[in-house]
Structure formats: structure tokens, C-alpha cells
Amino acid sequence: MTEVIVRIAHIRAADLCMSGTRRWFETHGFSWNEFLEKGKSADELEATGDGLAFRVTAIARSEIQNG
């Protein structure tokens, strides 16, 4: 199975506020700068159990499934 990587484009596609998303990353112990450079595993984001994480990962997963 292909690992799904969430990138900044997925955050934008979900219409999420960048400053709020940055705070969310920091609150959950994720590096914002690392995310900007490399993206973040959808599985890691979903492990937070947060609805916004699922919203963004759904966009990333859909992109892979639909090409």
C-alpha cells in the first residue's frame, strides 16, 4: 500500500487557515517547517483523532485514488 503524504496544497484545498494549522501542528508536536519541506504521513495526522486531520487526509487520499 502506498504511503499517503499530506502537503501544504492539501491544507489549502481544505480551506484551512495557515496560522491556525501551524498552531495545530505545534500543539500536536509536529514540526511545521519539516511539514513544509517534506509533508507529513496521513497516518500520523489521523492518529491524532482530530476531525480537521481527517478532512485534510481525505483530500490527499482522494488525490492518489483519482490520479
Half-sphere exposure of 45 (CA within 13 A, CB side): 28
pTM above 0.85, yes or no: yes
**Cα 60 from Cα 62, distance rounded (Å):** 5
Instruction: Let me know: does 39 contact 5? Beta carbons within 8 Å.
Output: yes
User: Grid coordinates representing 2?
Assistant: 502506498
> What integer pLDDT is reported at residue 1 of this predicted model?
67
**Cα 49 from Cα 28, distance rounded (Å):** 11
E-only strand ranges, 1-67: 5-6, 40-41
State pLDDT tens for residues 10-47: 999 999 999 999 999 999 999 999 999 999 999 999 99
